[in-house]
Amino acid sequence: MTPQTDEGPLVDDIAARIRARIMNGELAIGKPLRQAALAAEFGVSRTPVREALRQLQNGGLIEMQPHRGAVVRVPAPWEVRQAYEVRAELEGLAARRAATRITERQLAELREHNAVLHEAAEREAGGSPATTAANDCFHTVVCVAADNPWLSRMIDRINESFPRNVSSLALAGDERHRQENIRQHEAIIEALTARDPDRADDAMRDHVISSGEHLTAWYERRSQTVFHG
């Protein structure tokens, strides 16, 4: 925990800003985080930066390595797989609840977000901020439609454990996976449109498990190339 000091809000703000840059991929996995450089960038002393990094370390986004200091953490493949197993159950429940609650406007939003992914796939432009946002928004709409804040918070907590751009990077390098992702989204939309809780649950769980396996494979490849020295 961050010590209770007058710098608490400042520490939280710095941690949030660093977290956002990790999550959008600006600070890539394996990248060192230099306290002096961050302090100069934020116009603060090293003390709140050090506490912010400790906060992010407690959250699992960074790790401290000998001779390197703070580094954006590369999750172990087994962690990714296990996290997505849990996420699949939670998002399956969200889809099940959404099937009897989703509005026509929300269904239209799902189609719009999937259309962005489809158009990007045709241009072979996966892995962009637009596709990352469209994919995230697709899942967010389902969670909102589920109308259970506890469930949404638990899903968010899992999502915040890994940089959000990585899923798009994994999609960008695999045309077959991109098309599969779009088809799985379509199956979810069809089940929700039919107001079928069982189909929606199954379609969402299958989709998240599949995405988790692709992401696990991506991290396995990436972990062999990131310098841990």
Could you give the C-alpha distances from 49 to 46, 53, 202, in angstroms and in order? Answer: 5, 6, 44
Closest by alpha carbon to 112, among 139, 144, 134?
Answer: 134
The predicted pLDDT at position 225 comes to: 60
**Per-residue pLDDT tens for 147-193?**
999 999 999 989 888 887 777 777 776 788 889 999 999 999 999 99
Instruction: Estimate to the nearest angstrom the gap between the alpha carbon of 49 and the chain centroid.
Output: 24
- Per DSSP bridges, beta strands 62-65 and 69-72 are antiparallel
Q: Mean pLDDT: which of 94-103, 112-121, 130-139, 151-160 is highest?
A: 94-103
Residue 154 near residue 90, CB atoms below 8 Å: yes
What stretches of the chain adopt beta strand conformation (E)?
A: 62-65, 69-72
Burial class (CB in 10 A: 0-12, 13-18, 19+), 105: exposed
The predicted pLDDT at position 218 comes to: 84
Three-state DSSP state, 70? strand
Q: Identify the sign of the CA torsion 131, 132, 133, 137.
A: positive
pTM of the predicted protein model: 0.80
Percent of the chain with pLDDT over 90: 61
24 contacts: CB under 8 Å, gap ≥ 6: 129, 132, 163, 164, 165
Band of residue 229 on the pLDDT scale cut at 50, 70, 90 = very low
DSSP class of residue 228 equals -
**Per-residue pLDDT tens for 12-52?**
999 999 998 988 888 888 889 999 999 999 999 999 999 99
The mean pLDDT of the chain is 89
